[in-house]
């Protein structure tokens, strides 16, 4: 599939929880090679959208086509095998295992059953490549538990890369990171986007401004607008619903501190 070609096509997606429509008649296109950011206030439906794409929740209506294949009739592990990987808000790594062992375990699903139990002397090439890509080569033989918060997030991204996905879905990858870690993460995402497609949920608008190529704004389960960062920031509806609310909240907090 060539870059710029339609990779993910969502049409009329509806997700309902006990009568509440978390996603409402949502249409979304993501092109090959995009570094797409999803933003919106809490409860806008961002994580629910990723859950629907990856098979963790079942929509009541709509279609999700990935590389022309319908994902809605498939189980979560089948979707991974088709080339869709995801991270969660909290890094899921095995802290007692080494960094290399975490990566090796993540790569298992592409190997045949006999090779899973075969003792290997050498590290798999895809594991070494992922180690280098995420900047953890010097930590390969150390337990994942000694890594910083940011390094654990990079390890989890590496655990996706060894599975060779075409599409990576990342849920707030820089939450809780230091400024230096956020910068390094943004550079990592740009590097990955040279060969893959990413869709990133993020609340850090400074991070979005620096690294997004295209932004989709969600509000109450619908797409409010899409476009470049400048277009989204200047959109009056976005300023009212999302950016304006954040500004009002900060002003309220500043006033409360000043009056204390």
C-alpha of 55 from chain center: 15
C-beta separation of 161 from 192 below 8 A = yes
Answer for the pair 13, 64: CB distance below 8 angstroms, yes or no.
yes
Band of the pLDDT at 91, cuts 50, 70, 90?
A: confident
Which residues neighbour 232 within 8 Å (Cβ) at sequence distance 6 or greater? 39, 215, 217, 225, 226, 238
How many Cβ atoms sit within 10 Å of the Cβ of residue 42? 7
- Which band of pLDDT confidence, cut at 50, 70 and 90, is reported for residue 159? very high
Res. 111 pLDDT band, cuts 50 70 90: low
pLDDT: is 240 or 252 the higher one?
A: 240
Report if residue 104 sits inside a domain: no
Angle between helices 179-192 and 125-133 (to 10 degrees): 130
For residue 81, tell me if it sits in a domain: yes
The average confidence (pLDDT) of the chain is: 88
Is the residue at 234 inside a domain?
Answer: yes
Please check whether residue 241 is in contact with residue 219, taking contact to mean a CB–CB distance below 8 angstroms. Answer: yes
Query: Region 118-140: what's the mean pLDDT?
Result: 87
CA pair distance 257, 260, nearest whole angstrom: 5
Hey, what's the torsion of the CAs at 52, 58, 59, 64, to 10 degrees? Answer: 50
Segment 218-234, tens digit of pLDDT: 999 999 999 998 898 88
pLDDT at 121: 62
Nearest-angstrom CA–CA distance, 202 and 208: 7
* Count of domains observed in the chain: 1
With respect to residue 107, please indicate whether it lies within any of the assigned structural domains.
Answer: no
Q: For residue 52, give the CATH number of its domain.
A: 3.40.50.300
In a domain, 122, yes or no: no
d(CA 80, CA 111): 14
Residue 215 belongs to some domain of the structure: yes
pLDDT at 47: 95
Across the range 93-101, mean pLDDT stands at: 95
- One-letter-per-residue 3-state SS of 158-176: HHHHCCCCCEEEEECCCCC
Q: Is residue 47 part of a domain?
A: yes
Least-confidence region, from 40-54, 105-119, 138-152: 105-119
Q: Which residues span the domain enclosing 233?
A: 6-90+166-259
What is the pLDDT, as a whole number, of residue 242? 67
Greatest mean pLDDT among 105-119, 120-134, 137-151 lies in 137-151
pLDDT value of position 254 = 45
Q: How many residues does the chain have?
A: 260
């Amino acid at each position: 599939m060539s870059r710029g070609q339609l990779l993910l096509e969502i049409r009329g997606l509806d997700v309902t929880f006990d009568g509440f429509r978390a996603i409402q008649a949502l249409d979304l296109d993501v092109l090959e090679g995009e570094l797409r950011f999803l933003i919106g206030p809490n409860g806008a439906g961002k994580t629910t959208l990723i859950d629907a794409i990856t098979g963790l929740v079942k929509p009541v209506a709509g279609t999700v086509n990935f590389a022309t294949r319908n994902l809605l009739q498939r189980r979560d592990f089948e979707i991974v095998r088709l080339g869709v990987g995801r991270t969660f808000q909290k890094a899921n790594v095995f802290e007692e295992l080494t960094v290399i062992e975490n990566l090796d375990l993540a790569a298992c699903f592409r190997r045949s059953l006999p090779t899973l139990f075969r003792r290997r002397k050498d590290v798999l090439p895809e594991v070494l490549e992922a180690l280098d890509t995420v900047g953890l080569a010097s930590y390969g033989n150390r337990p994942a538990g000694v890594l910083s918060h940011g390094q654990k997030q990079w390890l989890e991204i590496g655990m996706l890369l060894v599975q060779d996905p075409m599409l990576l879905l990342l849920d707030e990858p820089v939450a809780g990171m230091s400024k230096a870690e956020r910068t390094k993460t943004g550079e990592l995402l740009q590097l990955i986007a040279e060969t893959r497609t990413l869709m990133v949920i993020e609340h850090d608008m400074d991070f979005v401004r620096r690294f997004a190529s295209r932004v989709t704004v969600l509000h109450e389960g619908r797409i409010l607008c899409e476009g470049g960062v400048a277009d989204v920031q200047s959109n009056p509806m976005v300023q009212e619903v999302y950016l304006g609310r954040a500004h009002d909240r900060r002003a309220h907090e500043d006033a409360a501190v000043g009056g204390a």
